[in-house]
Structure 1
Amino acid sequence: MVADWLTLLPALVAIAVVLWRKEVILALLLSLCSAELLIFLQNGQRFGAGLLLDGSIQTLERIIAVTGDADNARILMFSLLVGGLLAYMRYSGGVSATVAMLVNKGIARNGRQAGLLTFFISSVTFIESNLSSLTAGISSRGLFDKFKMSRARLAYIIDSTSAPICILILLNGWGAYILGLLSTYDLPQSPVAILIGTIPLNFYALITLVVVLYTIISGKVHGPMRKSEQQLHTLSHHSEIETPASHPAFMLVPLITLVAAMLGFMLLTGNGQLVQGSGSKSVLYATALSCVVVYCMMLLSRRFAHQQLVDIGFKGIGELLPLVTIVLLSLALGASLKLLGTGTFIASIVDQSLPQVLIPALLFLAGALISFTTGTSWGTFAILIPIGMPMVSLLGLPPSLILAAILSGGVFGDHCSPISDSTAVSSVAAGCDLLEHVKTQLPYALVCGAIALISFVVAGVLMI
């Protein structure tokens, strides 16, 4: 049998390899292999040459298995199609034309206005976190190039706006998911009332949004992001506004199609209920439709032949293959860690004899650790809500504070984790190297996390 503390080994392997070799794919592969070996040991198999062979084969099978899940397959397809969509917008000249239009109209005449526009777009597309990151990233890439701001800053703004906004407003898939988890418990208030009560208590999300706005308005960047600003490093080492401008419609029409179709498909998949819709289905269908729209527009412009457009689409998809591989391995690792019980072990540390006033802060820390090591905030909520909500009933704790601590911790860990799919999507949307995004966002996330932790300690003292 595997000792409980050994369930943390795969996450430690991933972190160590990332720090040592600066290679995320290698880190994820080795972490996945170690997780599969531990699963075999947990099932009673003895260590030996046969175990290493079985572990290697099972690693491949685990990767294959996650693609068998429809939602995971949709995420991977969506990530590939985004590459094609971005390439079409870039080669059509629509990005260059849109940037010129925004500058000439006075909507984004400087870096501060470009940052505020990005924040606004990310905020109003709260219906789905991936859509929020994607729309804001696509809209603002050219503007950030125009005003000599790094893609790392763009990735930070969209990543640190989309998830906090989505977890605060909750008129989306996250809200429906959390309400579903809460509905199984006998609580002193209705699930909806508890969820609304988390808004002023979700300290990490609120603090993060304040820091994002400070960064945009002041124009100041700190830590590794300052170095990125000096290097202006981008994933593909090019500026999207170098392409000769055509007409803004080549960017705006597919972008509007993306957002409108996302809303439409959320209603369709939710049988008329927006919050009941499937985010993974809707974002895939909307991206595919947007690709078709921009393809037809470029073909009808008579500037591009069909074969040219096929080549452009596949070139865009090829540019994102490394990040799609990271998403695939992250999903596989998350499945292995769930089977191994990593999240349950971390959560069990909290579920012991503890001073009641510290329970919110400890749930926040547990949520951060689970989300960081498994790369999923959704999985974190599924693990910790069944621990936190019974505490509310048994100990008479304030339900909104306990739930807010769990939600805050999940988003905090997600922001810090290099194996989070939302971290990868933000990198894709901004055109920023994944490790650069993690490295530049981490200091901001840690500062916000530390303030949030202190806030939960204070709230625990005042409210319990």
Structure 2
Amino acid sequence: MDYGILSIIPAVLAIVLAMITKNIVISLAISVFVGSTIICGWNPIAGFLEMTHTHIFTALSEPSNMQALFMMVIISGFIALLTSSGGAGAFTNLVTKKVNTRSKCEGGIWLGGLFVWFTDTGNSLIVGPIFEALAEKLRVSREKFAYILDCTTSPICSMIPIIGWGVTTISLIQAELDNAAITDVSGMDVFIQAIPFNYYAILTLFMAGLLAFTQWDYGPMLKAQNRAMKTGKTLREGGVPMRSESASDKEAKKDGKVSTMVIPLITLLVVLFAYLFSKDFLHTRVAGSDLRTGIASAFFAATIVLVIMCLKDKLYTFTECINIYTKGCSNAMFMCIVLVLAWSLSSVTSTLNTAGYLIKISSGFLAPSMLPLVMFILGAIMSFATGTSWGTMGVLMPLGLPVAIDMGSALPLVAAAIVGGGLFGDHCSPISDTTVLASIGASCDHVDHFETQMPYAVTVAVICGIMFVLAGLDYSPVMLVVAAVLLAVVVFVLHKLSVKKYGQEKTPGKIS
């Protein structure tokens, strides 16, 4: 059935309600219900049943989704025990002797995210807990913390050919090459050649590092950074963190050792990479279920080691360790609900064929000279509305690449534009799972993360739009240098304008 303009109502409603109510659960739930009601011919009772049975239960029945939820739970348990043991605090006290400024801490988060290049969904959950206590002590706002985590998820994964992102993109490109009977170039060739033109991914990573080391924040992010530096409140007053601890949790923290944190984390990385190497991840594609198995197993192993260390140092009894761990697991309930609702909304937009409608209304703009720009804009709109980059690529690759082949356009440039457009929504859409996970990793209010990150993402997107026009005139990797310089200048100017308006707190104020 063709739902026409009605197909975009649930996605738009979710975004608008999130901004107005500041409550992501209510916003998603209402949007899923409204979408289900539209599907059922505006019958609210049938829509309610449709929402529960067809979309929520279907989302929960997906093995990959259940595995992700299980990961959320066991990771939350590990974080709770690690925090209570005092290991994170001891690590913070040691590291701050060297990492003693906010810019150094943010730079460390950025570098840590670059290191965890093998998973977009696990990145924030691995890096976030490591730097959480340090970021709190050095007054990094939760919004900035979440932004840096989000920047080092999908953007870096989109340029790695040996993981799920790369393999999926290559297969989509190869399918169109096969359909066009093109044999002198492969999907891998086009993917590699497209990397220098993946402007959104590269510029997003560049901007996150630039802002971390220079502190050239602007707009809502600068206000959040000022609040944290002046008052010590890294979370907005009234903000609801996606992952939190109770007052009793904070009081129960022990004076642990640095080894209490470092050894479990080393165990985590050793187990994870040993598993990945057993799957020959450098040469073959590792299935998503295998990757999640590796991450879950690594956290289980790290938890076992952490429990042993707590018992050895007489920090807790075994029963106390289990109680802390299970209590931490229960803290994951809020984020699990958000993820299930986000997946349900994705199911609704798929049924309504939101992506198809967006293609239909924009198909008349596919002029040869503007093809890369149009593909990028269309991908950005589609991914932002649906919260999925892979789904966007799955729709646009079969549309854009055949057109590029017929027009004689540069395939790597068009492919990069499609990937970049898909990344935009995956990076900043409030209903994207990686956006949610970044909020979880930084323990940030999800709506605050969305609102402060959006101006940064749009800045990069605008520069990308300009670059895709210029690249069509001068198809050269050198254009990437031009893009980086242009972005740095724009960020600096926006920073100066915001400082003039809001000021910039550079020294810690008294904690109120």
By the TM > 0.5 criterion, same fold? yes
Q: Distance in 2 between matches of 1:441 and 1:76?
A: 25
- The residue aligned with 2:153 is 162
How is 1:398-417 mapped onto 2 (pairs within 5 angstroms)?
398-417=410-429
- The residue aligned with 2:482 is none
The answer as to whether partners of 2:254 and 2:315 remain within 8 angstroms in 1 is no
Q: Distance in 2 between matches of 1:146 and 1:393?
A: 54
Post-superposition offset of 1:84: 0.8
Q: Distance in 2 between matches of 1:265 and 1:338?
A: 34
Return the letter of the residue paired with 2:158: I
- The residue aligned with 1:387 is 399
- The residue aligned with 1:147 is 138
For CA contacts below 8 A with separation 6 or more, give which structure has more relative contact order. 2
The answer to whether structure 1 residue 53 and structure 2 residue 45 are counterparts is yes
Question: Unaligned 5+ residue runs, structure 2?
Answer: 236-240, 477-512
Percent sequence identity is 28
2:307 to 282, 292, 295: 295
Secondary structure in structure 1 of the residue aligned to 2:96: helix
- The residue aligned with 2:483 is none
The answer as to whether partners of 2:140 and 2:234 remain within 8 angstroms in 1 is no
Post-superposition offset of 1:2: 4.6
- The residue aligned with 1:208 is 204
2:271 to 243, 250, 261: 261
- The residue aligned with 1:315 is 327
Q: Distance in 2 between matches of 1:297 and 1:288?
A: 14
Return the letter of the residue paired with 2:197: L
How is 1:37-48 mapped onto 2 (pairs within 5 angstroms)?
37-41=37-41, 47=42
- The residue aligned with 1:345 is 357
Return the letter of the residue paired with 1:56: F
The 3 A distance-change label for structure 1 pair 281 and 179 is farther
The answer as to whether partners of 1:267 and 1:274 remain within 8 angstroms in 2 is no
Secondary structure in structure 2 of the residue aligned to 1:164: helix
- The residue aligned with 1:44 is none
- The residue aligned with 1:28 is 28
The answer as to whether partners of 1:225 and 1:440 remain within 8 angstroms in 2 is yes
- The residue aligned with 2:6 is 6
Deviations, residues 96-125 of structure 1 (Å, cap 9, x unaligned) = 111122233x2x232222222211111111
Return the letter of the residue paired with 2:305: V
Deviations, residues 392-426 of structure 1 (Å, cap 9, x unaligned) = 32222211111101111111112221111101111
- The residue aligned with 2:347 is 335
The 3 A distance-change label for structure 1 pair 335 and 280 is farther
Q: Distance in 2 between matches of 1:9 and 1:167?
A: 29
- The residue aligned with 1:113 is 104
The answer to whether structure 1 residue 460 and structure 2 residue 472 are counterparts is yes
- The residue aligned with 1:130 is 121
Post-superposition offset of 1:315: 2.3
Q: State the Cα RMSD in Å.
A: 2.3
Return the letter of the residue paired with 1:199: I
Return the letter of the residue paired with 2:92: V
Q: Distance in 2 between matches of 1:34 and 1:208?
A: 34
Post-superposition offset of 1:16: 2.2
Deviations, residues 211-232 of structure 1 (Å, cap 9, x unaligned) = 1122111123222222322143
Return the letter of the residue paired with 2:271: A
Secondary structure in structure 1 of the residue aligned to 2:159: helix
1:248 to 253, 258, 272: 258
The answer as to whether partners of 1:111 and 1:149 remain within 8 angstroms in 2 is yes
Greater CA drift, 396-405 or 291-300: 291-300
The answer as to whether partners of 2:162 and 2:281 remain within 8 angstroms in 1 is no
Return the letter of the residue paired with 1:306: F
The 3 A distance-change label for structure 1 pair 372 and 304 is same
Greater CA drift, 298-307 or 376-385: 298-307
Return the letter of the residue paired with 2:460: C
2:162 to 162, 171, 181: 171
The 3 A distance-change label for structure 1 pair 376 and 270 is farther
- The residue aligned with 1:194 is 190
Greater CA drift, 64-73 or 168-177: 168-177
The answer as to whether partners of 1:80 and 1:320 remain within 8 angstroms in 2 is yes
- Structure 1 outlier segments of 4+, above 6 Å: 237-242
The 3 A distance-change label for structure 1 pair 394 and 367 is same
The 3 A distance-change label for structure 1 pair 205 and 418 is same
- The residue aligned with 1:276 is 286
Greater CA drift, 23-32 or 314-323: 314-323
Q: Distance in 1 between matches of 2:438 and 2:422?
A: 17
The 3 A distance-change label for structure 1 pair 280 and 40 is farther
The 3 A distance-change label for structure 1 pair 241 and 56 is closer
The answer as to whether partners of 1:415 and 1:442 remain within 8 angstroms in 2 is no
Return the letter of the residue paired with 1:197: Q
Deviations, residues 21-72 of structure 1 (Å, cap 9, x unaligned) = 221111111111122222233xxxxx4xxx2211101111121111111101
The answer to whether structure 1 residue 370 and structure 2 residue 370 are counterparts is no
The answer as to whether partners of 1:118 and 1:158 remain within 8 angstroms in 2 is yes
Return the letter of the residue paired with 2:262: L
Q: Distance in 1 between matches of 2:438 and 2:365?
A: 39
Question: Unaligned 5+ residue runs, structure 1?
Answer: 42-46
The answer to whether structure 1 residue 85 and structure 2 residue 78 are counterparts is yes
The answer as to whether partners of 2:439 and 2:449 remain within 8 angstroms in 1 is yes
2:222 to 221, 226, 230: 226
The answer as to whether partners of 1:97 and 1:248 remain within 8 angstroms in 2 is yes
Post-superposition offset of 1:265: 3.1
Greater CA drift, 246-255 or 236-245: 236-245
The answer as to whether partners of 1:320 and 1:428 remain within 8 angstroms in 2 is no
Q: Distance in 2 between matches of 1:385 and 1:253?
A: 44
Greater CA drift, 167-176 or 415-424: 167-176
Q: Distance in 2 between matches of 1:344 and 1:140?
A: 41
The 3 A distance-change label for structure 1 pair 454 and 291 is same
- The residue aligned with 2:509 is none
Return the letter of the residue paired with 2:148: I
Post-superposition offset of 1:273: 4.3
Return the letter of the residue paired with 2:44: L
Greater CA drift, 94-103 or 441-450: 94-103
Q: Distance in 1 between matches of 2:256 and 2:394?
A: 48
Deviations, residues 244-298 of structure 1 (Å, cap 9, x unaligned) = 4311222222222333333333344568845334233333333333333323332
Greater CA drift, 286-295 or 153-162: 286-295
